Structure 1
Amino acid sequence: MMLKKLMTTGALVLCLIAPVTVKAEELKDMYVTANSGLNIREAETTESNVIKALPKGTKVEITSTDNPEWYAIKYDDIEGYMYSEWLDEEKPVVATSAPTSNNNVTQSKGRLYGTCSISHYCNCSTCSGSYGNTTASGVIPSVNRTVAMGRNVPFGTKIRIGNNPTVYTVEDRGGAIGRNNVDVFVGSHSEAMNKGRYSAPVYIVE
């Protein structure tokens, strides 16, 4: 009887000290969906250094999603952070030949957003400070595509300005950019100065 009691007690002790195994959340590979590619950064901010720029359709290994805005990733031997809004589990369609960009195709104007103050900027230190060739969304800015708007307009929103047939994509922010401002990315500082500032109706392309 005593032996049985000791054996039972020993089993109980073993149960108490046995480690509990918790199954870790499975992290899936994801793909870059930004048309212009996406930067791998050293830290979880657009102010950190760019390690490498990956083109659209590139697969990366997700190592952590603790920060829902910036995922920790691994690509080959490179580890860093990427802006999560431009990563997806589904591989995007990538054109194998030179695509016909929809940026310059005349479309219906879309839904009127309102009359905005239109300005222009480039990646020089005067316009962009230390940010250089980066955007708040993490993508590389591109002429005839990238614009900055207020936080009330989500990244990825397509817009048109006045009678201009170009369809722009909201990919950037700015300290002085409010609800009624659109800052258009251009190729040089002289072009930004020449185009200047003016008011025009802005349309949301849906």
Structure 2
Amino acid sequence: MIFTSSSTFILIQLVTSLIFLITPILSILTHAGLLEQICHQSPNYHLCVMTLRSSIHHRSREDMAGFARLTLEIVNSNSSTTLEHIHKSYGETTNPKVKKALEYCLVSYNTIVDVHLREALDAMKESNYKIAQQKIYVIIIEVESCNNKFKNLVISPLRNTNRYVQNLCSITISIINNLIQPYQPISTY
């Protein structure tokens, strides 16, 4: 079989194309495996998979720290959305007890977004996972305090959003735990 220069060129193009096609597919499969590993260790598997699955396609190289940053960014986004929801609900409610509870939550979520999440994201950028973890625990406590303000009220406009933020925080903590204390097999001597 004799290769002409044009057939050689086509063959080289085909091989090059395959290399560029296979690399992203292998990357996606590797990330999918890591995602499965992360989510099986998290307290809420289904929410974890739903939350992280899109990152495989949007981010070319995600590792454990990348997934932790991603979930923290999602917590930040959802906390900001919750803050907007609190503002809206506060303006719409006429019930003084609900208004007072929303006022408390407004302060809590402002602190969550402006202080705790910013500091947690900064800590993640610096690979200071312990500080990030501590900030996320504080966020969970703040959100629970907000939830408790509605405990004796019939209406709780934040029940679902608060639960969602807490669940995302729990997933983030489980990922960060892997960064702080990576899996180490037990040696048998």
Range into which the TM-score falls when normalised by the shorter chain: under 0.3
Q: Work out which of the two has the higher radius of gyration on C-alpha atoms and give 1 or 2.
A: 1
Task: Say which structure, 1 or 2, has more relative contact order (CA 8 Å, 6+ apart).
Answer: 2
Task: Identify, as 1 or 2, the structure richer in helix.
Answer: 2
TM-score, normalized by length of structure 1?
A: 0.24
